[in-house]
Amino acid sequence: MALTFPAVTTRSSLGIGLAGFGTVGSGVWNALERNGDLITGRTGGDVCLHVSRILVRDPAKARATTSEVPGEMFTTDWKALVADPKVDVVVELIGGTTDAFDIVAAALRAGKPVVTGNKALLAERGVELFQISRETDTPIHFEAAVAGGIPIIRTVQDSFIGNRIHSFSGIINGTSNYILGRMTDAGLSFEDALGEAQSLGYAEADPTLDVNGWDAAHKAILLATLAYGFAIDPSLIHVSGIEQVKPADIQFAKRLGYVVKLLAVIREHEDGTVELRVQPSFVANTNILASVHGVFNAVAVNGDTAGESLFYGRGAGQDPTASSVVADLVEAARSLRRSGSHRGFLPYSDSGRILPVGETSTAYYVRFDVTDRPGVIAEIAKILADHRIGISGTHSPVNPSDPDADFVDMVFLLHTCPFGKLQAALEEVSALDCINSEPVVFRIESLG
Ligand code: NAP
Ligand code: HSE
């Protein structure tokens, strides 16, 4: 299908339709106010970015911007924003996978490049959107969707284009890293730490995705799609979040020389299958990822030619995320200028297989909530032995305020085995009458 791109109004002007003016959207406004001239200068006058239209739910809401936004810029009608002739590029920053889908699809169909920070949208509905992008030869840019201000998308897409990527391992959710840090260092409750992350603008509008691991999983899906080229079905990957992390786990990890991190692991195996999982993990103090604190993210990439590289920076928040959006806007402006040469990412392979989680192997930390009576350890140990799972240690923390408590947390450290084997054993352990709830499992990762 022959397509024409919308004419950019003057050589140096690019009109932005900003769908969403919350944490990130208003950050983009501020960044353009602050550095618009700098960008124009750096591009030799080629790129002058200005916001033409803004989509919100409530135009009357007070906005924390560094300069006043003219009231007439606001609309609540996304179709009007997409169709506006003054809008050359659509920036989707409303979040979610429904209205955001309609906006992105309509913009692509109108031949308007899209910039988005919406990892849920691309991980859940990317197959449809990349298809439209291909059909309309109109790019989707999504640097802000993974790891906030870290330019990891462009790095994988461009700088590592000549590498076969063996693995990624990383901390790619700022909110959960912030929460774990505040629980560890300041003794905050989970709820209080989450409240802080929300007020700092790190958390999603619905923070469930941050704490249940799915925000990190969406980002991991995008990284894996970039590296291995095929679209990944989210239902095939193993995800668990930080909701079950207790201060006792953090303390126990510390005594053993580990820290607890929500880790995303992506690894290509020799048979071409791709391991992709997100879960709370014990990371050795000596590993560089153990030093990633607060809202910071880090992604370790292992390429066959480049070897190991580490990318570190702020993974969430207004300004770092706006930095990535603005970089994509410049890229989008350039793609419009080179009319017809698609410059966004498109999945390039129809085939690829995710390794079933049961076949992935690590060592484990398992916490059981048990009724403390003689023989409990032996009963659990027997089942593990029957499944030929080695035990490297056990521990039963005593509650100092009630040393004779009937219910205690009992911890087992287990040698490396396939996760499927562990699951089968834990199913039997859970049926013991001394076990009061589902066992909690963390991976003990040995990273490169
Ligand atoms: P936010 O603060 O909740 O802002 C959302 C904005 O979208 C608000 O302006 C809201 O309007 C508007 N909006 C929401 N639904 C709408 C609808 N159906 N129609 C019209 N307007 C609608 O969200 P955010 O933190 O900026 O995040 C935006 C996106 O960026 C999400 O996809 C998120 O995952 C992604 N992201 C966020 C961060 C971060 O650190 N926050 C980092 C990277 C990526 P009102 O203002 O009128 O309510
Ligand atoms: N809620 C996300 C996080 C925002 O905390 O990492 C950045 O994608």
- In the three-class reduction of DSSP (H, G, I as helix; E, B as strand; rest coil), residue 263 is classed as strand
pLDDT digits (tens, 9 = 90+) for 206-242: 999 999 999 999 999 999 999 999 999 999 999 999 9
- How many residues are listed for the chain in this entry? 448
Question: Which atom of ligand 2 approaches the CA of 117 most closely?
Answer: 8
Q: How far is the CA of 235 from the centre of ligand 2 (A)?
A: 21
Q: Report the largest interatomic distance among the alpha carbons of the chain, rounded to a whole angstrom.
A: 81
Pocket of ligand 2 (CB under 6 A): 148, 173-175, 202-204, 210, 215, 315-316
Using the predicted structure, report yes or no on whether residue 65 has a pLDDT greater than 60.
yes
- List Cβ<8 Å contacts ≥24 apart for 213-216: 213/173, 213/176, 213/239, 213/240, 213/241, 213/242, 213/262, 213/278, 213/279, 214/120, 214/239, 214/241, 214/278, 215/119, 215/120, 215/173, 215/175, 216/172, 216/173, 216/176, 216/262, 216/264, 216/278
pLDDT value for 236: 94
* pLDDT above 90: percentage of residues in the chain: 84
Closest CA to 148 of 316, 352, 15: 316
**CATH number, domain 360-444:** 3.30.70.260
pLDDT value for 3: 42
Q: How far is the CA of 201 from the centre of ligand 1 (A)?
A: 10
Is 246 catalytic? The answer is no
Among candidate residues 219, 246, 261, 382, the one labeled active-site is 219
CA dist., res. 153 & res. 143, Å (int): 5
Segment 377-406 mean pLDDT: 85
- In the three-class reduction of DSSP (H, G, I as helix; E, B as strand; rest coil), residue 258 is classed as strand
Q: How far is the CA of 123 from the centre of ligand 2 (A)?
A: 14
- In the three-class reduction of DSSP (H, G, I as helix; E, B as strand; rest coil), residue 414 is classed as strand
pLDDT value for 148: 97
* pLDDT above 70: percentage of residues in the chain: 94
Using the predicted structure, report yes or no on whether residue 398 has a pLDDT greater than 90.
no
- The answer to whether 59 and 74 have CB atoms below 8 angstroms apart is yes
- The answer to whether 226 and 345 have CB atoms below 8 angstroms apart is yes
CA dist., res. 264 & res. 223, Å (int): 10
Residue 338: which pLDDT band, with cuts at 50, 70 and 90? Answer: confident
Question: Which atom of ligand 2 approaches the CA of 172 most closely?
Answer: 6
Give the distance from CA 99 to its chain's centroid.
Answer: 21
pLDDT value for 6: 44
Using the predicted structure, report yes or no on whether residue 172 has a pLDDT greater than 80.
yes
- In the three-class reduction of DSSP (H, G, I as helix; E, B as strand; rest coil), residue 129 is classed as helix
Q: How far is the CA of 315 from the centre of ligand 2 (A)?
A: 6
Closest CA to 287 of 300, 278, 305, 302: 300
Q: Where are the domains of the chain?
A: 12-148+319-337, 152-315, 360-444
If one residue of 57, 198, 199, 297 were mutated to test the ligand 1 pocket, choosing by the most ligand atoms within 8 A of its CB, it would be: 57
Using the predicted structure, report yes or no on whether residue 343 has a pLDDT greater than 90.
no
Q: Give the residue whose CA is nearest to atom 19 of ligand 1.
A: 57
Using the predicted structure, report yes or no on whether residue 332 has a pLDDT greater than 50.
yes
- In the three-class reduction of DSSP (H, G, I as helix; E, B as strand; rest coil), residue 51 is classed as strand
Using the predicted structure, report yes or no on whether residue 448 has a pLDDT greater than 50.
yes
pLDDT value for 390: 98
* Two structure tokens written together for 339: 């009319």
How would you classify residue 301: left for phi > 0, otherwise alpha for psi between -120 and 50, otherwise beta? Answer: beta
Q: How far is the CA of 289 from the centre of ligand 2 (A)?
A: 17
Ligand of minimum distance to the alpha carbon of 62: 1
Ligand of minimum distance to the alpha carbon of 147: 2
Residue of 49 and 8 predicted with greater confidence: 49
Q: Give the residue whose CA is nearest to atom 4 of ligand 2.
A: 316
pLDDT digits (tens, 9 = 90+) for 240-278: 999 999 988 998 899 999 999 999 999 999 999 999 999
Tokens 């791709």 — which residue?
274
Ligand of minimum distance to the alpha carbon of 214: 2
Question: What homologous superfamily is domain 12-148+319-337 in, according to CATH?
Answer: NAD(P)-binding Rossmann-like Domain (3.40.50.720)
CA dist., res. 283 & res. 170, Å (int): 11
CA dist., res. 268 & res. 360, Å (int): 12
The domain 152-315 is placed in CATH, from the list 3.10.20.30, 3.40.50.150, 3.30.450.20, 3.30.360.10, at: 3.30.360.10
Q: What is the DSSP string of 368-406?
A: EEEE--TTHHHHHHHHHHHTT--EEEEE----TT-TT-S
If one residue of 173, 212, 261, 319 were mutated to test the ligand 2 pocket, choosing by the most ligand atoms within 8 A of its CB, it would be: 173
Burial of 301-321, coded b for 16+ CB within 10 Å and e otherwise, reads bbbeeeeeeebbbbbbbbbbb
Please enumerate in sequence order all residues whose Cβ is within 8 A of that of 216, keeping only pairs 6 or more positions apart, or say none.
172, 173, 176, 239, 262, 264, 278
